[in-house]
Amino acid sequence: MQQSQMTGRFITFEGGEGAGKTTLMEGLAHRLTQEKGRSVLKTREPGGTELGEEIRHLLLKKRSLMSPYAELCLFLASRSEHIREVIQPALAKGQIILCDRFNDSTIAYQGNARGLSMEKVAHFCSFISEHLTPHLTLYLDIDPEQGLQRAHKVREQDRIEAEGLAFHKKIREGYLAIAKKEPNRFHLLDASQPPAQLLEAAMRLVLRYV
Ligand code: Z5A
């Protein structure tokens, strides 16, 4: 089935470490279910399927050593499974899918921060995701130092978080370039505002699409 024939909505959440995606997704899922009576599916990348969760473990564990190319391929392998097993069926059923990270993460992290080229990585992403595009992307913009501080308060650093500040600044730079290029889909939200205020701003945007 073509994406245009599917009645569901595909909404993705992007941002650097500790931006607040998980917190915001929880709040939106609750409100869309309770107030709007919608069927909501929360999922994440890497992960979301049995194979995807195994790939996630490989990608995030601190002792994993891999080239940037191998890293890219693993994120894309997880995505391909996720799309076929989870996202497309949910879209066909008319669900609202809230997905923690998708192609924009790969473009910002592997494309810009790892230096593989945003254009080339975007091309691979489009091919692997069979041109599936989110109806809406909420990008939670935060100063990387603030985001890393928040993330470290709640858990140990994983392999990618452990990269230096310069790497995390490049991720933000990558996201801001996408925001400039795709203003209709990719919406920037100030992630330094309090959670309740952020949820209100996000809800206003989401209601335009569901
Ligand atoms: N990655 C990649 O390189 N390429 C790809 O293609 C994909 C991913 C798909 C996935 O790890 C890693 O893989 C990730 C990108 C890379 N890099 N790393 N590391 P993950 O899913 O485990 O990590 P994450 O997505 O960065 O999650 P996170 O750090 O847990 O952040 P979050 O979900 O955005 O934040 P949170 O858990 O909602 O909040 C963090 C803390 O801040 C928590 O204590 C909250 O209570 C607090 N918080 C949340 N919102 C606020 C506000 N508004 N104000 C104050 N405090 C807040």
Ligand 1: distance of its center to the CA of 154 in Å?
10
Mean pLDDT of 29-45: 97
- Nearest-CA residue for ligand 1 atom 28 is 18
Amino acid 175: pLDDT: 98
Query: Which tens digit of pLDDT belongs to each residue from 127-151?
Result: 999 999 999 999 999 999 999 999 8
Amino acid 23: pLDDT: 97
Query: Which tens digit of pLDDT belongs to each residue from 176-209?
Result: 999 999 999 999 999 999 999 999 999 999 999 9
Mean pLDDT of 32-60: 97
pLDDT category at 3 given cuts 50, 70, 90 is low
- Nearest-CA residue for ligand 1 atom 4 is 106
Other beta carbons within 10 angstroms of residue 62's beta carbon come to 11
Could you tell me the two tokens for 95?
């669900």
Beta strands of 80-209 (E only): which ranges?
Answer: 96-100, 136-141, 186-190
Could you tell me the two tokens for 189?
């939200």
Q: What is the dihedral of CA 114, 115, 120, 126, to 10 degrees?
A: 20
Query: Which tens digit of pLDDT belongs to each residue from 59-116?
Result: 999 888 999 999 999 999 999 999 999 999 999 999 999 999 999 999 999 999 999 9
Report whether residue 18 contacts ligand 1, using a CB cutoff of 6 Å.
Answer: yes
- The dihedral through the CA atoms of 18, 22, 25, 27 has a sign that is negative
- Nearest-CA residue for ligand 1 atom 54 is 194
Query: Which tens digit of pLDDT belongs to each residue from 101-130?
Result: 999 999 999 999 999 999 999 999 999 999
Amino acid 16: pLDDT: 97
Atom of ligand 1 nearest to the CA of 79: 9
Higher-confidence residue of 4 and 8: namely: 8
Could you tell me the two tokens for 203?
């809800």
Amino acid 8: pLDDT: 95
Domains of the chain: 3-207 (3.40.50.300)
State which of 57, 78, 105 you would mutate to test the pocket of ligand 1, scoring each by most atoms of that ligand within 8 A of its C-beta: 105
Amino acid 68: pLDDT: 97
Report whether residue 151 contacts ligand 1, using a CB cutoff of 6 Å.
Answer: yes
pTM recorded for the entire structure: 0.96
Ligand 1: distance of its center to the CA of 13 in Å?
10
State which of 13, 58, 160, 178 you would mutate to test the pocket of ligand 1, scoring each by most atoms of that ligand within 8 A of its C-beta: 160
Amino acid 5: pLDDT: 62
